[in-house]
Amino acid sequence: MTNSLFTRRQVLQLTGGAAAVGLAGCTGNQSGDDSGSEPTTSAESGHSEEEGGHSEGVGEPTDTAEVTMITEGEDYHFEPHVVRVTVGGTVTWTNENGSHSTTAYHPDNDQPQLVPDGAASWNSGILSEQGMTFEHTFETEGVYHYYCTPHESLGMIGSIIVGDPNPDEQVALEEPPADKSDQVREKLKELNTTISEALGDSH
Ligand SMILES: [Cu+2]
């Protein structure tokens, strides 16, 4: 908890680029609005795009990562779905629109543990204003799953890879909890596939 804090930011410098990335990264959702989803390559963190051209390519760990919380019609998601930071690295979430939280799958949040053993929990509470941010520093190597409290059941779930963990030792990568809905389990499996590919590449 002590390494999590709220900050408020100037929204304007973030919104433009984040919106473009959000649209480009969300193929395959059920919103039905394909027409406006022409990928734009205005992303500032360009290098991950070169590894196969898919916006979900997860690269090497970086000291900081940015995640946007997005509502698009009836589609709610974190973008990118998977980010990677170094041990001691910080992830900043920014609410682009709607009301969202970033909340760890951790017993402290009355959830099954889908974070490394001994890892600190976090819970932003609801960010209801555009441009509100939350950040968390990750001191424990491993794979973390987290969700948005209002939209978990709609598949608003994301993941953080910290450092270069052994995929065989990650609680998060095991079979999703049986008491979760099919939609949540499917989303977790999809994330696990992306994460396993990212870690496989680096081992
Ligand atoms: Cu949400």
State in Å: Cα 97 to ligand 1 middle.
Answer: 9
Please compute the mean of the pLDDT values over residues 176-187 and round it to a whole number. 97
Q: Alpha-carbon distance 159 to 40, whole Å? A: 24
Per-residue pLDDT of 37-76, as tens digits, reads 444 444 444 443 333 334 457 889 999 999 999 999 989 9
Q: Percent helix, strand and coil across the chain, each rounded to 5? A: 25, 30, 45
Per-residue pLDDT of 115-140, as tens digits, reads 999 999 999 999 999 999 999 999 99
Half-sphere exposure of residue 22: CA atoms within 13 angstroms, side-chain side: 21
157 pLDDT tier (thresholds 50, 70, 90): very high
What pLDDT does residue 103 have?
98
Please provide the average confidence, as pLDDT, over all residues in the chain.
81
State in Å: Cα 203 to ligand 1 middle.
Answer: 33
∠ at Cα 27 (23, 17), nearest 5°? Answer: 20
Query: Tokens representing 5?
Result: 């804090």
Residues in the 5 Å CB sphere of ion ligand 1: 76, 100, 148, 151, 156
State in Å: Cα 16 to ligand 1 middle.
Answer: 20
State in Å: Cα 202 to ligand 1 middle.
Answer: 31
Residue 59: its H or E element: none
φ, ψ of residue 44 to 5 degrees: the values are: -80, -20
Q: Write down the H helix ranges in 8-78.
A: 12-25
How many other C-beta atoms lie within 10 A of the C-beta of residue 163? 17
Q: Is the dihedral of CA 35, 39, 42, 45 positive or negative?
A: positive
pLDDT of 1 over the 80 cut: no
State in Å: Cα 189 to ligand 1 middle.
Answer: 19
Indicate the CATH number for domain 4-202: 2.60.40.420
pLDDT of 35 over the 50 cut: no
Q: β-pairing, 62-72 with 75-79?
A: antiparallel
Please compute the mean of the pLDDT values over residues 148-173 and round it to a whole number. 97
State in Å: Cα 101 to ligand 1 middle.
Answer: 6
State in Å: Cα 138 to ligand 1 middle.
Answer: 22
State in Å: Cα 156 to ligand 1 middle.
Answer: 6
